[in-house]
Structure formats: structure tokens, C-alpha cells
Amino acid sequence: MTVVVGKCFDERIVIASDTMISDANTGNANAIPGRLKAIIISDRLSIAYAGHSDPALHAIRRVPDIYTTGGIPNVLEALKVFTASKDYSVDFMIAYHDPHSELRRVWNGQVSAPLQQVCIGNYSIIPEVLSRFVPAENAAVSAKNFIHAFLNAFTDRQVFAGTGVGGFPILLEAQPAGHIYRGHTFSMNWKPVVFKPEATTYENDNDLLTGEWSFRHDILVPRQSGLAVLAAEVPQAKVGFVYAPLVDDEPEKVTLLGEADKWTEKQTEMHQAMQRALNMKISQVAHKR
């Protein structure tokens, strides 16, 4: 299972998802790295999926050619036919600006009318997201607030996100000017804080190194719109992952430091290595467009 939620804010559409998938052979959960399930096709078209990952990716990889030759109507028809199959279970969410902003769901051989909001996969986290969302008069501010509400709920250890939901929170913002991913940094510390009168308490370096009491991740994204590429960096594990689902079946694992290196002392070097790996993949994907 997974969670993908989409919501419209005038001409903007926000799609938020997790990365967890289940291994088709063993049924075991794969949360990190998992897979990127909100996929930018072009500056004007993005598709997200919930359900069987391998067949969904196969269908989505056909979309760029279908879109080029037949436009949105042919894309919707192809996804409709695909979801009518009894061989697998996949739901799609499609956001596009062609020529106007629309958000639709495609499932079980059906195509919805344009929607203001929709969720596919596990709905469990949605009430928490909506309860934390503060609408604003300005659409851009509302979209930003919705992104923060999803991040806040998804990373709250007290919130049950649903069975089969987990991994990294992924944020895609579809705008008339182009479809892009939104990067973010998340850090959590759940060690109880003990206050000692007239004493200064310092953060324990060993706690940071082991990750026993804290966790952090960074999502790095391209500056250029229209590219299905992003990276996730996990400093404590000294690894990162580069996602490019239109060209790679699985995210590329990037080792950022040696086993003996302390990540707390080499955060800049790690981040630079992650950025280089992302830039290489951006060049590869942009070349194949």
C-alpha cells in the first residue's frame, strides 16, 4: 500500500506521497529507498500511482511518447485501458496544465471528472493532514501550507500513517510555469530532555552518530522543471539515493563516506557528494528527453 494525495490551489496542484513499496517476490516492505511514485513527465504533465509498482512504472514509461503524439486524451485513454486489466491492481493520479489545470484519478477502467482533491492508496493519514492545513487567501501560500501540513503529519511519530505507508515524504508541485519537486530537510530528536538548574546541556555527539535517538533526511531536487529526478540523503547512514524512475528501475545508492568516518564532522563533503550524484543523473535524464 502507499499514500498519494493531490489537491488543487487555483492553477497549482500539489501531489504528496511516500516511497514505500512491497517486494513483489517476498511481500516485505521496502520503505527506504522504496520508489518514487509521483513522477514528472514533462513541464505540463505529472502522474502518480498506488498499487503494483512494476506494472505501474511500465505504463508510465509509455506516457511520454503517447503524450507527444496524442496529447492528454490519449494519455487518459491509455491509463484507463491499463487499469481495466485484472492482472494487477494500480490506481493513477494525473495532474496537467494542457491547456488548463486539471487533476484526475484513473482506476478500474474509469477516468474521473476534474477533481479539487483526491487520494489513492491508504487514506489513514488524510484526516491528520487536513486538520493541520491552514488555508490562505493566496493560492501559493495555501499550497505551501498544505505541503507543510503533509510533512508535519507524515513525520509525526504519534500519527498512524497507515499500513504500508512510510519512507520519505515526496512533494511535487505542478504549476502553469512547470512541474517541479519541492526539496526539504527533516530532523527529529526523540531523546527525553533533562533540565539541570544552573547547568548547560550539550547535544551528545554519540547520539547523533548512532541515530539511536535522532533521525534526519534531506531531499534534493533539480532547479529545472519537467524532470523526474530527485535525491534523498540520509546523513547518519552515510548514504543517499538518486531516483529517476523513467530511466532506472530502482534508485541508485550513493555511498557518501567511509565506514570509519564520522558524518558529524563531514556533513559538507557528504552533501557535495550527494549533489554531484544528483547533477549527473539530471544530465542523463535531460539528455534523453
User: Taking the domains of the chain in order of start, what are their residue ranges?
Assistant: 1-182, 184-220+229-289
Q: Give alpha helix (H) positions in the chain.
A: 53-61, 63-83, 126-132, 139-154, 205-210, 267-287
Q: What is the spatial distance between Cα 222 and Cα 173, in angstroms, rounded to a whole number?
A: 13
pLDDT tens-place string over residues 14-65: 999 999 987 545 455 677 899 999 999 999 999 999 999 999 999 999 999 9
The grid coordinates of residue 274 equal 550527494
10 to 147, 190, 197, 273: CA distances (angstroms): 15, 38, 52, 38
Contact (CB, 8 A) for 238 and 222: no
Neighbours of 223 (CB within 10 A): 8
The structural architecture, per CATH, of the domain 1-182 is 4-Layer Sandwich (3.60)
Report in angstroms the alpha-carbon separations of 29 from 16, 155, 171, 220, 277.
Answer: 20, 18, 21, 24, 26
Query: Model's pTM, two decimal places?
Result: 0.90
| pLDDT on residue 281 | 97
pLDDT for 102-135, tens place per residue? 999 999 999 999 999 999 999 999 999 999 999 9
Rounded distance, CA 72 to CA 46, Å? 11
Question: Could you tell me what percent of the chain has a pLDDT over 90?
Answer: 72
Tell me: pLDDT of 72 over 90.
yes
Closest by CA position to 182, among listed 153, 216, 214, 140:
140
